[in-house]
């Protein structure tokens, strides 16, 4: 019998079968042991990014400690979104369970070491802390108060006993002066920037970051907490009562991102606390929205300069909490009361189409340069407190009592729109020496004097009670719109306008010119005027 045949015969015997089974079992045990050892000692976290240097890396100790103080403070400021719980079994010591059963990915706990779970217990009433979630991609922050922390003989386990999840949890002892980890098994990062961390036969799968560390560890696998960026991006966010404000802030960040710092934002994202200072303008589209404490939301953006609100239920508004605003626009709302006195640097104020608003005080806002309240019944006001005002639109503003419009208190006006106010009968346009553009259509004006209107380039004056309009003096006028109502002729001698929309005789340096029926660009005219270049003699 050959050696090969002898071996086969032996393996077929009952002794051979037992030996084979034992060999296979030993191999399986070895493989499992090797895999577990490999996991314990060579696991490298694949997700997240740490801002804490490994102890095995070169770093500046002073800078490192400053970073730890700031990190601890930042984590401590996070609001809890989870509650710890306990589960006691017969004959066993309770543990503190920081485990989410809701597949939560970002876990924040606030634990009072002197009154754990509000049961009047301390850590000495327990012997283990278990951290985890049904979501394997979780990150957990445990903010634990108290100056003297004793975790002697403790097991701090993250998800399972292998230690490979140690990069996903951080225990932030933000008040601690001493943290005792004698005979403890710690998985995760211990952050205690003010404390002496005491070690004696301590096993660590994570990091111990404190003011100082005394004693020796029996096992130390350096695993950095990899959840800082994820936690900050998703949990360190501002709380806004009005979702339209959140959307406006996100839109601003997305549209003003030359360095690609906000490319991870989507329209459904929350606004990160670190990004609020970058928001300088909010364009709030709030149709059918009932605002809730809008001023409080806006105050969360410290560098905000421009606010634009279109629509919404907003009966009152104040800039008391946003004194640095330079531009405010509130249009199409039920606004009745507006207080802008706290913003002396306001330069632009737009209040169009707010039918409930009848009063406005801007005596404390001398820097306003642009003011518009078209369609808002504020009428003609005393503008003497606005010496820098150069743009004024008070069209369709319910001017009363056949008011006389004069530029005595408006020395710097360059653009003026008083159209749609039927009660305006007298308009001293010659008292506005810097006026460049004017719209007085739809009023009841009887006469206009352009003798001092050398800077005027744009004029709209259709549908008034004017008969013969003499434009002589407005030598730089380029655009004229004057038709409808009782107008009979336009005197354009000395002028070279590029466009004239009218339906009547025009007197020019070449003689009388009549419209040819040319259809101009759309205007609010009932009759279609023509361009002077298309007229016939």
pLDDT class of 455 with cuts at 50, 70, 90 = very high
Give the closest residue to 149 by CA, choosing from 185, 122, 189, 118.
Answer: 122
Pick the closest to residue 164 from 49, 29, 46 (CA basis): 46
Label residue 134 by pLDDT band (50, 70, 90): confident
What pLDDT was estimated at residue 91?
52
Kindly state the average pLDDT of the residues 496-513: 93
* Bridge pairing between strands 437-439 and 468-470: unpaired
DSSP string, 87-121: ---TTS---EEEEESS--SEEEEEEETTSBTTTTB
Q: Using alpha carbons, select from 395, 398, 519 the residue that is nearest to residue 461.
A: 395
For residue 323, the Cα-to-chain-centroid distance in whole angstroms is 18
* pLDDT value at 231 more than 90: no
What is the reported pLDDT for 163?
Answer: 65
Q: Residue 76 — very low, low, confident or very high, per pLDDT cuts 50/70/90?
A: very high
Q: Does pLDDT of 97 surpass 80?
A: yes
Provide mean pLDDT across the span 405-409.
Answer: 90
Q: What is the pLDDT of residue 2?
A: 53
**What is the average per-residue pLDDT within 493-514?**
93
Q: Is the pLDDT of residue 404 over 90?
A: no
The average pLDDT across 95-122 equals: 89
pLDDT given at position 103: 76
Q: Is pLDDT above 60 for 528? A: no
Measured between alpha carbons, how far is 459 from 418 in angstroms, rounded to an integer? 12
Assign 516 a pLDDT band (cuts: 50, 70, 90). low
Residue 232 has what pLDDT? 76
Instruction: Tally Cβ neighbours within 10 Å of residue 265.
Output: 19
Per-residue pLDDT of 301-315, as tens digits, reads 999 999 999 999 999
Q: Band of the pLDDT at 228, cuts 50, 70, 90?
A: confident
Domain boundaries, the chain: 3-42, 61-233, 435-537
Q: What is the pLDDT of residues 154-176, one digit of tens each?
A: 999 998 666 678 889 999 999 99
pLDDT at position 243 over 70:
yes
In this predicted structure, the answer to whether residue 21 has a pLDDT above a threshold of 70 is no
pLDDT band, residue 442 (cuts 50/70/90): very high
73-76: long-range contacts at Cβ-Cβ below 8 A with a sequence spacing of 24 or more? 73/174, 74/232, 74/236, 75/141, 75/143, 75/170, 75/172, 75/174, 75/191, 75/231, 76/143, 76/172, 76/174
Rounding to the nearest 10 degrees, give the CA dihedral for residues 187, 192, 196, 202: 0
| Residue 14 confidence (pLDDT) above 90 | no
pLDDT digits (tens, 9 = 90+) for 331-369: 999 999 999 999 999 999 999 999 999 999 999 999 999
Q: Say whether pLDDT at 63 is over 70.
A: no
Q: How many residues does the chain have?
A: 537
Rounded CA separation 423/421 (Å): 6
| Helix, strand or coil, per DSSP, at residue 145 | strand
On the question of pLDDT at 44 being above 50, the answer is no
Confidence check: pLDDT of 75 > 60: yes
Q: How confident is the model at residue 9 (pLDDT cuts 50, 70, 90)?
A: low
Mean pLDDT calculated for residue range 179-198: 96
Q: What is the 3-state secondary structure (H, E, C) of 451-512?
A: CCCCCCCEEECCCCCCCEEECCCCCCCCEEECCCCCCCEEECCCCCCCEEEECCEEEECCEE
| Whether pLDDT at 27 is above 90 | no
pLDDT given at position 79 = 85
Q: What is the mean pLDDT of residues 84-108?
A: 78
Per-residue pLDDT band for 185 (boundaries 50, 70, 90) equals very high
Taking the C-alpha atoms of 229, 233, 237 and 242 in order, what is their torsion angle to the nearest 10 degrees? Answer: 180
Which range, 34-38, 78-82, 138-142, is most confident?
138-142
Higher local confidence (pLDDT), 22 or 489: 489
Q: Which helix (H) or strand (E) is 449 found in, with range?
A: none
Task: Give yes or no for residue 18 having a pLDDT over 80.
Answer: no
pLDDT of residue 536: 36
pLDDT of residue 300: 97
pLDDT at position 493: 95
Can you give the pLDDT at residue 531? 39
pLDDT > 70: percent of the chain: 82
User: Which residue matches tokens 């079992």?
Assistant: 25
First to last CA, the chain: 133
Least reliable range by pLDDT among 66-80, 377-391, 476-490: 66-80
């Amino acid at each position: 019998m050959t050696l090969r045949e002898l071996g086969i015969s032996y393996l077929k015997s009952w002794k051979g079968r037992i030996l084979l089974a034992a060999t296979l079992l030993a191999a399986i045990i070895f493989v499992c042991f090797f895999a577990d050892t490999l996991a314990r000692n060579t696991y490298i976290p694949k997700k997240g990014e740490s801002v804490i240097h490994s102890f095995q890396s070169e770093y500046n100790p002073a800078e490192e400690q400053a970073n730890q103080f700031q990190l601890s403070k930042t984590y401590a400021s996070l609001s809890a979104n989870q509650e710890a719980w306990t589960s006691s079994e017969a004959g066993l010591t309770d543990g503190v369970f920081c485990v989410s059963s809701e597949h939560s990915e970002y876990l924040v706990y606030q634990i009072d070491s002197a009154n754990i779970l509000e049961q009047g217990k301390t850590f000495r009433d327990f012997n283990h802390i278990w951290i985890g979630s049904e979501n394997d991609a979780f990150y957990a922050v445990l903010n634990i108060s108290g100056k003297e922390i004793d975790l002697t003989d403790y097991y701090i386990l993250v998800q399972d006993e292998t230690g490979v999840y140690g990069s996903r949890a951080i225990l932030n002892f933000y008040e601690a002066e001493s943290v005792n980890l004698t005979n403890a098994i710690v998985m995760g990062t211990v952050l205690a920037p003010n404390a002496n961390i005491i070690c004696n036969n301590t096993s660590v799968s994570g990091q111990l970051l404190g003011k100082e560390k005394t004693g020796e560890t029996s096992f130390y696998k350096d695993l950095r907490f990899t959840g800082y960026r994820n936690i900050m991006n998703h949990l360190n966010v501002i709380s806004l009562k009005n979702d339209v404000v959140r959307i406006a802030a996100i839109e601003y960040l997305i549209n003003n991102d030359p360095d690609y710092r906000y490319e991870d934002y989507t329209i459904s994202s929350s606004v990160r606390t670190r990004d609020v200072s970058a928001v300088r303008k909010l364009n709030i589209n709030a149709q059918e929205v009932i605002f809730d404490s809008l001023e409080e939301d806006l105050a969360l953006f410290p560098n905000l300069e421009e606010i634009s609100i279109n629509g919404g239920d907003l009966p009152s508004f104040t800039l008391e909490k946003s004194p640095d605003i330079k531009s405010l626009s509130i249009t199409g709302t039920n606004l009745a009361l507006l207080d802008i006195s706290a913003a002396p640097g306001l330069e632009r104020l737009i209040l169009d189409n707010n039918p409930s608003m009848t009063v406005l005080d801007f005596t404390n806002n001398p820097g306003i340069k642009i003011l518009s309240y078209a369609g808002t019944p504020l009428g003609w006001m005393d503008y003497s407190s606005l010496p820098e005002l150069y743009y004024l639109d008070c069209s369709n503003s319910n001017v009363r009592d056949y008011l006389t419009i004069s530029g005595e208190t408006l020395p710097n006006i360059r653009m003026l729109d008083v159209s749609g106010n039927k009660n305006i009968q007298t308009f001293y346009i010659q008292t506005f020496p810097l006026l460049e553009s004017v719209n007085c259509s739809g009023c009841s004006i009887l006469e206009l004097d352009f003798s001092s209107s050398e800077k005027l380039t744009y004029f709209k004056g259709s549908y008034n009670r004017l008969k013969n309009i003499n434009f002589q003096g407005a030598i730089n006028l380029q655009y004229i719109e004057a038709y409808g109502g009782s107008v009979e002729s336009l005197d354009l001698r000395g002028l070279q306008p590029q466009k004239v929309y009218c339906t009547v005789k025009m007197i020019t340096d070449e003689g009388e010119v009549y419209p040819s029926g040319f259809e101009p660009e759309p205007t609010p005219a009932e009759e279609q005027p023509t361009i002077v270049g298309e007229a016939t003699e």
